[in-house]
């Protein structure tokens, strides 16, 4: 089991669920549901222990799918931020390999030689296929 203090050493920045909800324009209950459904991952950390999500899981809405970015929403109608689209499938693959949420976060934020990057950085730059190939090798 991965300790939250270990995760604090590799995750650049964390958001509490109210912060995630504000960033996404949702209520906290919907953010909790996103975690339960495997669309986001979070861990309890800090004192008092508060459920938190790595900030890198959220991206500007026009970059939700980095391999096919859209134009920024200039009229302000849509959400400014969203969850990185490739995370849910990646969480599924890691879950199938027996990873819990803390282990998923640790794997995503640990440099991988075959990717020449941290998996989260590869996902944010459009490398979903390569990341999932590496994750599937863990099965």
CB distance 51 to 44 below 8 Å: yes
Give residue 84's domain range.
4-136
pLDDT tens per residue across span 37-46: 999 999 999 8
pLDDT tens per residue across span 3-58: 777 999 999 999 999 999 999 999 999 999 999 999 999 999 988 899 999 999 99
Domain count within the chain: 1
pLDDT tens per residue across span 108-131: 999 999 999 999 999 999 999 999
pLDDT tens per residue across span 64-115: 888 887 877 655 566 689 999 999 999 999 999 999 999 999 999 999 999 9
- What is the phi/psi pair of residue 105, to 5°? -65, -45
What token pair was written down for 67?
């391999």
């Amino acid at each position: 089991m991965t300790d939250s203090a270990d995760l604090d050493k590799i995750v650049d920045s964390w958001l509490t669920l109210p912060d995630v909800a504000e960033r996404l324009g949702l209520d906290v209950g919907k953010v909790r549901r996103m975690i339960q459904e495997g669309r986001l991952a979070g861990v309890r950390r800090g004192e008092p222990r508060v459920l938190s999500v790595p900030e890198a899981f959220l991206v500007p809405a026009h970059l939700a799918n980095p391999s096919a970015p859209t134009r920024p929403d200039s009229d302000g109608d849509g959400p400014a931020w969203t969850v990185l689209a490739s995370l849910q499938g990646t969480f599924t693959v890691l879950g199938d390999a027996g990873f819990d949420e803390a282990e998923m976060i640790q794997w995503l934020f640990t440099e991988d030689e075959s990717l020449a990057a941290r998996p989260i950085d590869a996902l944010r730059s459009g490398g979903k296929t390569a990341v999932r190939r590496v994750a599937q090798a863990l099965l």
